[in-house]
Amino acid sequence: MKQLFTAEIIERLVHEDGQTALVLGRDDIVTPLARDRARELGLKLVYPDDEDRDLPPWSAARRAAPAAPSSSPAPGEPAEDDLEARVRSAVMKVLGTSAPPAPPRVPPKPRRVNGREVKLEPFPFDIGRPEMDVRLKDVITSEHGSPMAAGFMTLHQGEFPWTLDYDEIEYVIEGELHIVTDQGTLIGLPGDVIFIPKGSRIQFATPSWAKFLYVTYPADWSG
């Protein structure tokens, strides 16, 4: 009988039954997440044929190998070569429900932002420098289907530390922006572009005032 092995079943075999190996039948299905969980827990998956015991059932190499004759799919069931549909169908049968249709993917649309009308908001993180009145506003985000984010930021005289878990580019619009790094200070004047790589520990600073456009990758820079 064909069996479906999910990550939950793998965890139960290891934690409750104490198994260290699982012998699979030729028609058994192991989901990708279950295979990863088995590897993490040290459960060895043993396949019926020596030549492909290390290949998962969804492997292209295994599917390319000669397969044992199989009966035609029952009416309403997916064809044998549609692996994703087969797994989904099997999971839905276990859960006793039918698979919901996948929502259509809506492609992103070009977007224009009127920068003159953008109202900046207080910086959402406590930097301990209220006198700097740091403000910003994201104007392009992942909600617009973009892999990058963009926005405006302003700050008054002073400096504060920041660590970037993302790549960022600054375009200075007004004033004088200082990016203080271990290698020195980058000074940006109106029209200048500054690149800050992911993982950098810096100080955002200005001797007076600065306004700049930032572009980050990935889009969800604030987590």
Domain count for the chain, please give it.
2
- Is residue 102 one of the residues assigned to a domain? no
In a domain, 188, yes or no: yes
Question: 68: exposed, middle or buried (C-beta count within 10 Å: 0-12, 13-18, 19+)?
Answer: exposed
- The answer to whether residues 81 and 19 belong to one domain is yes
Residue 201, pLDDT score: 94
Contact 194, 179 (CB under 8 A): yes
Tokens of 161: 């530390």
Q: Identify whether residues 28 and 87 lie together within a single domain.
A: yes
Tokens representing 90 are 């099997």
Query: What's the pTM value of the predicted model, to 2 decimals?
Result: 0.54
Per-residue confidence band for 101, with pLDDT thresholds at 50, 70 and 90: low
- Residue 52 in any domain: the answer is yes
Domain of 139? 118-217
pLDDT digits (tens, 9 = 90+) for 141-163: 988 999 999 999 999 999 999 99
163 in the same domain as 91: no
Whole-number average pLDDT of the chain: 82
3-state secondary structure of 35: helix
Kindly report, residue by residue over 26-35, the tens digit of the pLDDT: 778 888 888 8
Domain assignment of residue 211, yes or no: yes
Q: Is residue 185 part of a domain?
A: yes
More confident residue, 110 or 59: 110
Amino acid identity, position 102:
A
pLDDT of residue 103: 64
Q: With 0-12 CB in 10 A as exposed, 13-18 as middle and 19+ as buried, what is 163?
A: exposed
Among 80, 95, 110, the domain-final residue is 95
- 125 and 202 inside one domain: yes
Q: Do 210 and 167 have their domain in common?
A: yes
Element (H, E) at 8: helix 7-15
Are 64 and 10 members of one domain?
yes
